[in-house]
Chain A
Amino acid sequence: MKTISLLCMVLSVVIAANAPVFNEGYQIGDVVEDFSLKNVDGNKVSLADYSDAKGFILIFTCNTCPVAKGYEDRIIALDKKYKAQGYPVIAINPNDAGVEPRESFEQMQQRAKEKGFTFPYLLDPDHVVTKRFAATHTPHTFLLQKTSQGNVLQYIGAIDDDSRGGNPQTKFVEDAIAALNGGSTPNPNMTKAIGCTIKWKKAS
C-alpha cells in the first residue's frame, strides 16, 4: 500500500512536470515581484516608488494595436479617476521593436506625448515582466492591491466589456477597485477580451 501511494506520488509529479505549461504566470492571490523599467521620460519606475499607493492598475498596452489604441482615452480617464484614490495606472509595452519597429522607445515617447499620457509608459526589454504576468495580448490588465505581504494580484483581464465597440456596459476594472475598497475581492476576477497578440522577440 505504501509503495502504491509512493508510486502514485511520483507518477503525479512526473505527469505534472510533463503537462503542457499553459499559464505559468502569476495567479490571482499571488504576491508579485517588483520591477524597475525605463519610462518614456528616461527614468526608471518601480512599484516601490509609490509609497502612498493602495494598489496599481497595471496595463500591458502598445503603440500599434487598434484595440489598445481604442482604449487609450479610457486608460487616461482611469488614471485620472483612480490615481487620486490610490490606484495609479502603470502602462507597460510588451512588444519587441525588432519585430515591429513602430513599437520603438522613440515611438512610445511620441505616442505618450501625442495622447498626453498622465501615467508611466514603460519599456520591457526581452519581455521579462510580461512573461512573469503571462500577459498574452494588448491591452491586458492586471489589478494589484498593496498589502503587508506585498502587491497582491486581484484581477486579470479586460478594462471593460466592450473591447471592440467602445461602448461598455460593465466596467470590470472600476468594479474590481470598488470591491477592494469595500473590503471584498473582485467578482469576476478574470475576464477575457479580443486583443492583439504580443510581438515576441524572434529567437536569435
Chain B
Amino acid sequence: MKTAWICAFAIAVLSTDLATAQERVPLVTLNELEKRLQNGGDTTFVVNLWATWCAPCVAEMPHFERLQAEYRLKPLRVIFVSLDAAKYHDAVRRFVDAKGLKNEVWILDEKNEQHFIPLISEEWSGAIPATLFVNTSKGVRIFSEQEFDYQQLERDYLAIVQQNQ
C-alpha cells in the first residue's frame, strides 16, 4: 500500500515536472514569434537561433545569459529559439534544465526551411549560430550570422539602444 502511494506521488511529481518544462519551453510558430517581436514596443529583442547539437551555439549561450542579467532593468528580452527537430524536443527541455538557462527558450515549430529561413532574414544562409536583433519602435531588424563573444554582443545591443528613433 505504502509503495503504491509513493509510486503515485512520484508519478504526480514527474508529470508536473514535464508539464512545467513544456510550459517553460513552448513550441512556437514563426507567426507567434513575429507577433511577439512586433508587439514589443520599445523592447529590444535579441533572438538567438541555436540547437542542442550545435557546439558553437552552446558555447556562446552564457554570453546571452549574461547580457540579459546585466541589463535586466532595461527593456531587453533575450530569447533562445531552438531549431532542434521534433524528435529532440524533450532533449531540448532536458538541456534547458541541466544548464539552468534563465532566459526564455522557445522551440520553433516550423518544418519547411524554404519558408521560415528567408522570413526570419533574407540574409540568413541557414547556418547557426545566428542572432536576430529587433526593436519595433526604432524600426530596427538586424540579422547576424556569426558567433558572439560577450563584448561584441554587448556592443551590438548598445548600438541599437543608442540609436535615435
- Which A-B residue pairs are the 4 nearest by beta carbons? A137-B127, A164-B85, A136-B125, A66-B53
A167-204 vs B, Cβ < 8 Å mask (1 yes, 0 no): 00000000000000000000010011111111000000
Q: Assess whether A196 is in contact with B54, with CB atoms less than 8 Å apart.
A: yes
Indicate whether A42 reaches chain B with its CB closer than 8 angstroms: no
> Which residues on A sit within 8 Å (CB–CB) of B54?
66, 196
B12-36 vs A, Cβ < 8 Å mask (1 yes, 0 no): 0000000000000000000000000
Q: How far is the CA of A158 from the CA of B117 in the complex (A)?
A: 12
> Which residues on A sit within 8 Å (CB–CB) of B128?
194-197
Q: How far is the CA of A188 from the CA of B114 in the complex (A)?
A: 10
Contact A165-B87, Cβ < 8 Å, known A191-B114, A196-B54, A197-B129: yes
> Which residues on B sit within 8 Å (CB–CB) of A137?
125-127
Contact A193-B87, Cβ < 8 Å, known A22-B123, A137-B125: no
Main secondary structure of the interface of A (DSSP, over half): loop
Q: How far is the CA of A137 from the CA of B126 in the complex (A)?
A: 8
> Which residues on A sit within 8 Å (CB–CB) of B86?
165
B40-64 vs A, Cβ < 8 Å mask (1 yes, 0 no): 0000000000010111100000000
Q: How far is the CA of A133 from the CA of B29 in the complex (A)?
A: 33
Q: How far is the CB of A180 from chain B (nearest CB, A)?
A: 20
Q: How far is the CB of A127 from chain B (nearest CB, A)?
A: 14
Q: Assess whether A197 is in contact with B87, with CB atoms less than 8 Å apart.
A: no
> Which residues on A sit within 8 Å (CB–CB) of B126?
136-137, 158, 163, 192-195
Indicate whether B90 reaches chain A with its CB closer than 8 angstroms: no
> Which residues on A sit within 8 Å (CB–CB) of B53?
66-67
Residue among A67, A137, A195, A197 with the highest chain B CB neighbour number at 10 A: A197
A-B contact pairs, 21 of them (CB 8 A): A22-B123, A158-B113, A161-B114, A162-B111, A163-B113, A164-B83, A164-B85, A188-B114, A192-B113, A192-B114, A192-B118, A192-B126, A193-B117, A194-B113, A194-B117, A194-B126, A194-B127, A196-B54, A196-B128, A197-B128, A197-B147
Residues of A whose CB lies within 8 Å of any CB of B are: 22, 64, 66-67, 136-137, 140, 158, 161-165, 188, 191-198
Q: How far is the CB of A186 from chain B (nearest CB, A)?
A: 14
B56-92 vs A, Cβ < 8 Å mask (1 yes, 0 no): 1000000000000000000000000001111100000
Residues of B whose CB lies within 8 Å of any CB of A are: 51, 53-56, 83-87, 111-114, 117-118, 123-129, 145-147
Contact A192-B125, Cβ < 8 Å, known A136-B145, A197-B145: yes
Q: Assess whether A164 is in contact with B84, with CB atoms less than 8 Å apart.
A: yes
> Which residues on A sit within 8 Å (CB–CB) of B55?
64
Q: Assess whether A165 is in contact with B113, with CB atoms less than 8 Å apart.
A: no
Q: How far is the CB of A22 from chain B (nearest CB, A)?
A: 7
Closest to B49 in A: A194
Q: How far is the CA of A177 from the CA of B36 in the complex (A)?
A: 41
Q: Assess whether A192 is in contact with B112, with CB atoms less than 8 Å apart.
A: no
Q: How far is the CA of A197 from the CA of B60 in the complex (A)?
A: 13
> Which residues on B sit within 8 Å (CB–CB) of A193?
113, 117, 126
Q: A161-B114, A197-B146 are in contact. List 11 more A-B contacts (CB 8 A).
A: A64-B55, A67-B53, A137-B126, A140-B125, A158-B126, A192-B118, A193-B117, A194-B83, A196-B56, A197-B128, A198-B127
